[in-house]
Chain A
Amino acid sequence: MKIIRYILTSFIITTLLLSCDNKFEEINSNLDSPVVIPSSMIIGTVVRNVANELYSTFNGLEIGESWAQHISMVQYNDPERYKPRVTSMDNLWSVFYTGASNANQMYNLAVLEENSVNQGIALVLKAYCFSLLTDFYGDVPFSEALKGPSDANFTPVYDKQQDIYTGILALLDEAMPLLSSGIGTTDPSMDILYAGDNSKWAKFAASLKFRALMRISAKTDVKSELQALVSGGNLFASNDDEAKLVFLSTSPEANPIYETIVAGGRGEFKLAETFINYLTSNSDPRLPVYAQPAVATGTYVGKPSGHSESPLPGYGYDDVSSIGTLYLEATAPGYFMSYSELLFLMAEASQKGYISGGVTATQNYYEAGIQNSLTENGVGESFAQFKTVGGVAFNTNNALQQIGTQKWAALFCQGFEAWTEWRRTKFPALSPVPDRYFIDQIPNRLKYESNEVSINSINYKAAILQQGGADDLVTPIWWLKN
């Protein structure tokens, strides 16, 4: 009997041990992370991550600014010689798709909240991310993109850039009425771009649409849509409207350029000779704002771009001009889109007859673009004098070149936009750097994220065929093709 008692006891204990099974779901619940959050909480995530990526010195400066020949590196200038860091190109892909994904989820949360305004903000952010993605790479996943969570599609096809632009325009068209619907509100503390001011989001949506239309204006007729935006009167109307993130004064939320160059002490980012030459030869009042005098000579000296010697004899750290102090401030803003850029785009549209107003309007937009850029740089008072400088004074015969050049000058430190708009307009005339690694021209695009060949290989290979070239830096994207 004693034995039976022992056996019974053993089995009772064993059963007790195992009877906790039903608590498994409780054990496995996540104690730290919520299943649903307010949609407003996502705005800051997207804006902060995108701005940090665009203004990262490894991206905006080494790739964008050096290809636009605003910036040249004293040392470590491989990207400037058209050998960009692979990790930087890869990060652009993942950060912008992650931004689009977060915007997509924000939209879904806002739908549940019945918050139309936040739906609109989500759509603008999504459109912004996709517009940069397609401008970087050309054909990218769009129609099937972001459908992993909803449709278990983890191998999205790459859409033609033409179709992506159609889609981006549709997103913005959907966003604008939602933003002005007045249904729902945005938590101002979470909206680090516009502090919950929906009317400014609506203006950003319209201005972004204007930019997108201009990008594809050589390929398709965008006249009526451009004119409708101008007539609608809801574009940026002042520097107060423009989309920019004002970084915080302290690391790590300071402007990434400040983080790397000032706090991180990486002094190799200098002004390119091309850009200094433009600024000095036109007596551009932004020269002392954009640049510092060289330590060695006290004069403004540009660094010739793209030489293999590092440092290039005679152009060492102290021999050439550093970036101006305004742009090295911790709180220097990160632009998503500036008012002056819109004005230059409008000037071009007017000059090309896409929008009404003729020569007068062209000149007005052009000069307003310059004026707002000077104002933004704290030298607005020099406008009257500067607009009379030979190369700057509006000349209708040379208007497109002037508009392009002034846009290029105004986009200082907005590396990707400066490079992208240069790719489109080819103004001002820039020559490829002398000691190039593999290609003989200023790049037309970036290479796809390096894992795409492995993890989405069928669609990746189809995209390369579809674009009619290789996954390199020279294959022209659709809106660049003749």
Chain B
Amino acid sequence: MGESNNEVVKLKGIEIGIYLTEFSSINNTVNLNLFYMKKIALLLAFFAIGLQVLVAQTREISGTVTSADDGGSIPGVSVSVKGTTLGTITDMDGMFRLKVPQDAKTLVFSFVGMTAQEVVIGTQSVLKIQLKSETIGVDEVVVTAMGIKRSEKAIGYAAQSVGGDKLNEAPEANLVNSLSGRVAGVNITNSSGAVGSSSRIVLRGASSIYGDNQPLFIVDGMPVSNSNEGTTTGSGGFDLPNGVADINPNNIESVNVLKGPNAAALYGMRASNGVIVITTKKGKKSKGIGVEFNQTYTFEEPLVIPNFQNSYGQGSSKDFFEYINGTSGDGGTDESWGAPLDVGLKFMQFTSYINNPDNPQPEPWVSHPNNVRDFYDTGLTSKSDVSLSGGNETTTFRLGTGYSDQKGMIPFTDFKKFNVTASGSHKFTDKIRSNFTSKFIKSDSDNLPNSGYDGSNVVQQTIWSGRNVDLQALKNWRNLPKALPGSTYGEGSLPINWNTAFQNNPYWQLETNKNSFNRTRFIGNMGIGIDLTDYLSVNGNAGVDYYTTKTSVKWAKGSAGDAPTYWRYSGNRDGSEGFYDEEQRSFIESNMDLLLSFKKTITDKFKLSIDAGGSRMHTESTFDYRAVQLQLPELYNLGNIKSGTSLFNKNEHYQSSINSLYASGELSFKEYLFLNVTGRNDWASVLPAENNSFFYPSVTLSTLLSEILDLKSAKIDYLKVRGGWAEVGGFGPLGPSDILATYTLSSLPWNGNTFGSYPTTLNNSKLKTQSTIGIEGGMELRMFASKLRLDVTYYDQTSSDLVLPVQVTRASGVASVWDNVGELRNRGVEIQLGGTLFESSKKDFAVNLDINFAKNHNEVIKAGKDDSNNEETLILGTMWNMNLEAREGYAYGVIVGPSLARTESGEVIYKNGLPQIGETKVLGDIEADWTGGANLSINYKSITLNTLVDAKIGGEVYSMTSAWGRYSGILEETLQGRETGVVGDGVMLNTDGNYVPNNVVVSAENFNHNAFGSEIVETSVFDASYVKLRQVSLSYNLPKNWISSIGLTNVNFSVIGRNLAILYKKAPHIDPETGLSNSNGQQGMEFGQLPSARSIGVSLNVKF
């Protein structure tokens, strides 16, 4: 190669002038797809290098191949003499030299993802070729289940991929959020804007009632855990990121979403909710070491804050207020039904004691309209990534490291993530190759905010609140007077607060009482592939996902309210003694698989390929929870246990295995008809021994009508029709040891004595897996040189024999029993429509629009075993009087609770001027009617503008921010009738027994206390629809001729924004995209939402 290098250099010297003159006109369109095409091709090129055949030549042709899209040279282009086997490929600089017979007339240039070009040689000896990209290549290779490669046209099911570049246009801390609006039929709910919050992802719809309903994540061929170990419920706790949030988006090459059972069948049991296949970036052959550097800074601010009233202050008296100690009298009331603000009144307030501790004086009773907004800090996220990559013919590598540091909008909250990744490949011989990837991730936080209905959720203080309260006055807590005598919380020891009956000073609390998090994780895998013959190869892989998570909760003495975590286990409600807890988990999953691949052309027309193999999965996990009340204040150590109390101790161990055998076969006919069949048998240890083997088959058929019918004249480039049938299974929430009945030992001894209790969940030795059977059909169409792209899928899948602990009456002696009950059906359509709306003739200006749309109809067909009872229901979660249920005949996740009493004609019934409680019934559901996203990208020369809008229309949310905000008089709606009283719209029972219009005037306070709050759920259920401006990014590629002079190959500067605006919503006061966490039972309910974040920033990407 050394010899030819000299020539190349020389050639380059000649070519460079031409190159630069062409630059301005052809380099300006950035086609991001091409980036990947080139990479794939480059990989193929490595295999091809060295296979050049030396033949007798009589004439030498040389030249360069560049891209018509961005002007960049294309390595790896196949150059061949038409009608012969003579050929070569272009080198790293897109150059080639080829000796051809004198009589050679035509050269063929071909490259995956680009339109092949035939060039008549004539008398030329130096050629300059431009290849145009085929936006989606007909022969594109798709990596399917188990890493098996198939050509795209042979795929008989819906799969949609998102390039890593899309995910990194405006990076999100949680990878799952980056997929919002990108993929048809993918439903994403980010729990909140708190740093480290979880996100829920559901493909198509819920297929399990109590299982987590989230897809299996496969990273570089191996499953990785996406579990969420947060503690959030409606009554407190704190959220943690879901497991996949550990994956650094910057290392991602592509994400492929296998939505339905057909795509996922080969993954068996664990894939009943679909599969998300993530491929990370790998090194490639290069002349030197490629270096890439990324730096992003974004600033976060609350997107939605409730609309508060600013006319009346704390208390319940119209003309009087006195702060005595924050507990007694009106000053202890955490509601705002008090005296009018900004009318010249003066009262003793908490600020009186701050401003003048020795001689407090009444202070003006005035509003602080921005007190809540100003309470939040501007969040700051800094993210840095560096990677090195390179390789030669036999070996490639990529090393990357990334660090992100987030400071939350909630004061004193943060989240840090550090990762190191390494991957590489090596070819020992032409027939034996190997590869590995490894990722080390450490994420930690000193403090994550509490959420839910709990005194330690600081947002609660803005709902149970006085609108006169200047929160800023509490900020400098170290220098504030102590809570006054008679204060319930913190008397004489903790800083003063506007209320000391229920709350601590919020700044003190956030800085002192901390929820810390620390996770260390290693994900690694290696593989070896051997070509046994030209038609038979074997691949073996082994991988491991290991992590330890440690969380702790620290509460100082004098803390208000219930100790949330402690409470979960012991029933203790009191946090005032202070406590410290530690929760530690370890998890390891190992996977091994072996795949034998056979590929053979049987006749000219028939080709057959078969892959068969087996795998073994084993997991082990431990859970340790220890908690103490404190002896010495502010010393957070398990040894600092309060005298006379016991250590609370919980210690659990789990393990489970799945063994599998599987096979997949493809038979193709003339490259336009493809039959794919898969089968997998799983043996799972968590199931009863006599019933632990299950077989899952699938079949798909795909036809390339555009080939059969030759539709080129109709401007149709590609028309594929596909259909399939598949069955997959799962075991829902069934975990290790769940089929055994065992006694439980108390975690907290009584005076040193350990008690035992009978289990509340009953086992079932007849349990079997649940099954999801689905059909799907679809078509893919590309027209007008792929300027119009359409992909439509219809699916209908039914999940039955769902494995779940059926809630039964406590009167039966247990609370639940494991069983196979229930049936869920999901039907729907997914549409992806892409179009090049405009493209200038020079291709330096283009407008592209990609739209996706999905409509899923979900129905709980059966929620129990009893066929005669047609409204059976299963409870998923609760919040006060509201239940989230799976109820027969409704969509999964109905909001159930007491309604308003109404007459037959629907009028609200009042008594004494107050609305009456009606029956408990279905008031809404969490299922969206449809979801969609639109990505508009505009390229003009080096500038790219990307905007992403996504929509979720339909479904409901139960907002207790509204319920308690109305009750406490802080929301703007509570101004209605403050002075005059309220007459509710409806009817009342007359003395003669007839309904007449309600005419009883009640105070606004009395009305809001009764119509809202927790008793009547209906009044706080809202339409959860939203349309969000999810992302806008504007990026600029510095001209290559500027940067190449200083040795850089690419410099990109972007201004980015995420979650910039809610363009449409109906739920007042909150962001309707919300969940207490990402688990099933915590959806569709909201209280004291930690505000979602609007994020704006800048990003720099440099390659050299």
The interface of chain A, by Cβ under 8 A from chain B, is 2-3, 6-7, 10, 13-14, 17-18, 20-21, 23-25, 27-37, 41-45, 48, 52, 75, 78, 83, 86-87, 93-94, 97-98, 100-102, 104-105, 140-141, 145-149, 153-156, 189-190, 192, 248-253, 259-260, 263-267, 295, 308-311, 313, 316-318, 438, 449-458
Q: In residues 643-668 of chain B, which contact A (Cβ within 8 Å)?
A: 643-645, 651-657, 659, 661
Nearest CB in chain A: distance from B817 CB, A: 6
Q: Establish whether residues A14 and B532, one from each chain, have CB atoms under 8 Å apart when the complex forms.
A: no
B313-327 contacts to A (CB < 8 Å)? 316-317, 327
- Chain A residue at minimal CB-CB distance from B593: A17
A187 to chain B, nearest CB (A): 9
Given contacts A32-B651, A252-B570, 15 further A-B contacts (CB under 8 A): A18-B616, A24-B685, A30-B742, A33-B740, A33-B742, A35-B743, A75-B332, A78-B1015, A104-B813, A251-B577, A260-B573, A310-B333, A318-B486, A454-B871, A455-B808
Q: Can you name 15 A-B residue pairings with CB atoms under 8 Å?
A: A7-B538, A17-B594, A18-B614, A24-B689, A28-B686, A29-B737, A75-B332, A83-B1015, A145-B812, A147-B813, A148-B814, A149-B741, A251-B629, A264-B561, A455-B809
CA distance A478 to B1046 in the complex (A): 94
**What is the distance, in angstroms, from B1017's C-beta to the closest C-beta of chain A?**
11
For B539, the closest partner residue in chain A by CB is A10
Mask of B743-757 contacts with A, CB within 8 angstroms, 1/0: 111101011111111
Q: Give the docked Cα–Cα distance between A260 and B683 (Å).
A: 51
User: By the criterion CB–CB under 8 Å, are B758 and A42 in contact?
Assistant: yes
Decide: B644 and A146 in contact? CB cutoff 8 A. Answer: no
A265 CB contact (under 8 Å) in B489, B530, B571, B736: B489
User: CA A259 – CA B532 in complex, angstroms?
Assistant: 73
Q: Is the CB of B532 within 8 A of A45?
A: no
B762 interfacial contact with A, CB 8 Å: yes
Q: Is the beta-carbon distance between B653 and A32 smaller than 8 angstroms? A: yes
The contact of A33 among B530, B533, B744, B814, by CB within 8 Å, is: B744
Q: B497 to chain A: closest CB distance in Å?
A: 13
A265 to B558, CA, bound (A): 10
Residues of chain B with a CB closer than 8 A to A87's CB: 880
**Is B592 engaged at the interface, CB distance under 8 Å to the other chain?**
yes
B737 touches A28 (CB 8 A): yes
B745 proximity list for chain A (CB < 8 A): 33-34, 37
| Contact A317/B329 with A24-B685, A146-B813 known, Cβ cut-off 8 Å | yes
Given known A-B contacts A252-B570, A267-B327, A148 and B743 have beta carbons under 8 A apart: no
Partner of A454, one of B753, B762, B885: B885
Q: Contact at B748–A252, with CB atoms within 8 Å?
A: yes
Which of B746, B759, B812, B880 is close to A155, meaning CB atoms less than 8 Å apart?
Answer: B812
- From known contacts A31-B653, A189-B753, A259-B572, infer whether A148 and B817 are also in contact, taking CB-CB under 8 Å: yes
Contact check, A27 vs B656: say whether CB atoms are below 8 A apart.
Answer: yes
Q: Which of B573, B683, B740, B750 meets A48, CB within 8 Å?
A: B750
**B316 and A34 form a contact (CB under 8 A):** no
- Whole-angstrom distance from the CB of A165 to the nearest CB of chain B? 17
Q: In the complex the two chains form, is B659's CB within 8 Å of A263's CB?
A: no
Known contacts A13-B594, A102-B757, A451-B807; decide if A316 and B574 are in contact (CB<8 Å).
no
The answer to whether B560 touches A30 (Cβ under 8 A) is no
| Contact residue among B328, B532, B560 (Cβ-Cβ distance under 8 Å from A6) | B532
B53 an interface residue at 8 Å Cβ cutoff? no
Q: Does B811 sit within 8 A of A, measured CB to CB?
A: yes
Contacts of A318 in B (CB 8 A): 328-329, 486
Q: Closest Cβ of chain B: how far from A328's Cβ, in Å?
A: 13
Task: Establish whether residues A317 and B885, one from each chain, have CB atoms under 8 Å apart when the complex forms.
Answer: no
A25 to B656, CA, bound (A): 10
* Chain A nearest Cβ from B922, distance in angstroms: 11
Taking residues whose C-beta sits less than 8 angstroms from the other chain, chain B's interface range is 35 or more
Q: Which residues of B contact A457 (CB under 8 A)?
A: 869, 871
Q: Which 9 A-B pairs have the closest CB atoms?
A: A252-B572, A265-B488, A33-B742, A148-B812, A146-B813, A141-B811, A97-B810, A30-B737, A41-B756
User: Which residues of chain B are within 8 angstroms of A25 by Cβ–Cβ distance?
Assistant: 685, 689
Confirm or deny: B43 has a beta carbon within 8 angstroms of a beta carbon on chain A: no
**Contacts A27-B685, A453-B920; A263 near B577 (Cβ below 8 A):** yes
Please state if A42 and B755 are interface contacts (CB–CB under 8 Å): yes
Taking a contact as CB atoms under 8 Å apart, the answer to whether B810 and A14 are in contact is no
Residues of B685-700 contacting chain A, CB below 8 A: 685-686, 689, 692
B279 is an interface residue with CB less than 8 A from chain A:
no
Question: Which chain B residues numbered 811 to 843 have a C-beta less than 8 Å away from chain A?
Answer: 811-815, 817
Mark each residue of chain B from 551 to 594: 1 if its CB lies under 8 Å from any CB of chain A, else 0: 00000000011100010001111101100000000000000101
Chain B residues 875 to 907 lying within 8 A of chain A, measured CB to CB, are: 875, 880-881, 883, 885
Question: With A and B bound together, what is the CA distance between A33 and B756 in angstroms?
Answer: 10
Contact pick for B809, options A104, A141, A309, CB 8 Å: A141
A100 to B809 Cα, complex, angstroms = 13
Cβ-defined contact, B740 with A30, below 8 A: yes
In the bound assembly, the distance between CA atoms of A428 and B139 in angstroms comes to 91
B660 to chain A, nearest CB (A): 8
By a CB distance below 8 angstroms, the chain A residues around B809 are 97, 141, 154-156, 449, 451-452, 455-456
One of A10, A37, A438 near B594 (C-beta < 8 A): A10
B757 near A42: Cβ-Cβ < 8 Å: yes
- Assembly CA distance A28 to B740 (angstroms): 9
Distance between Cα atoms of A146 and B814 in the complex (Å): 7
Could you say which residues of chain B place their CB within 8 Å of the CB of A42?
A: 755-758
When distances are taken between beta carbons in the complex, the residues of chain A under 8 Å from B1009 are: 308
Contact A37 B689 (CB under 8 A): no
Q: Residue A263 contacts which of B576, B613, B651, B686 (CB distance < 8 angstroms)?
A: B576
Asked whether, in the complex, the Cβ of B817 is within 8 Å of the Cβ of A154, the reply is: yes
In the assembled complex, B341 has its CB within 8 A of some CB on chain A: no
Assembly CA distance A23 to B880 (angstroms): 45
Q: In the bound complex, how far is the Cα of B1009 from the Cα of A31, in angstroms?
A: 51
B705 within 8 A of A: no
Given contacts A28-B739, A265-B501, A458-B869, are A252 and B755 in contact (CB under 8 A)?
A: no
| List of A residues within 8 angstroms of B1006 by Cβ | 308
Q: With the chains together, A147 CA to B655 CA distance in Å?
A: 31
B538: A residues at CB distance < 8 A: 6-7, 10
Q: A155-B812, A317-B332 are in contact. Are A248 and B659 (CB under 8 A)?
A: no
Most buried by A among B317, B489, B501, B883: B501
Contacts of B566 in A (CB 8 A): 252
A45 touches B755 (CB 8 A): yes
Select from chain A the residue with minimum beta-carbon distance to B684: A24
B615 at the interface (CB under 8 A from A): yes
Query: Which A residues lie within 8 Å of B532 (CB)?
Result: 2-3, 6-7
B1100 CB contacts on chain A under 8 angstroms? none
A contact residues around B317 at 8 Å (CB): 313
Give which listed residue, B333, B570, B762, contacts A75 with CB less than 8 A: B333
Inter-subunit contact A250/B614 (CB<8 Å): no
Q: Is B609 an interface residue (CB 8 A)?
A: no
> Which residue on B lies nearest to A156, using beta carbons?
B811
Among the listed A2, A20, A45, A309, which residue makes an inter-chain contact with B756, where contact means beta carbons less than 8 Å apart?
A45
Q: Cβ of B760 < 8 Å from any Cβ of A?
A: yes
Determine if B814 and A250 form an interchain contact, defined as CB atoms under 8 angstroms apart. no
In angstroms, how far is the closest chain A Cβ from the Cβ of B1030?
Answer: 38
Contacts of A452 in B (CB 8 A): 809
Q: Are A44 and B750 in contact (CB under 8 A)?
A: yes
Residue B916 CB within 8 A of the other chain: yes
Residues of B contacting A156 with CB < 8 Å? 809, 811-812
- Docked CA distance A467–B846 (Å): 76
Decide: B737 and A259 in contact? CB cutoff 8 A.
no
- The answer on a CB contact under 8 Å between B659 and A449 is no
B536 contacts the other chain (CB 8 A):
yes
Q: How far is the CB of A318 from chain B (nearest CB, A)?
A: 5
Please state if B758 and A102 are interface contacts (CB–CB under 8 Å).
Answer: yes
Shortest beta-carbon distance from B628 to chain A in Å: 11
Docked CA distance A140–B809 (Å): 11
Least CB distance, A126 to chain B, in whole angstroms: 11
The distance in angstroms between the C-alpha atoms of A253 and B572, with both chains bound, is 8
Q: Are B756 and A154 in contact (CB under 8 A)?
A: no
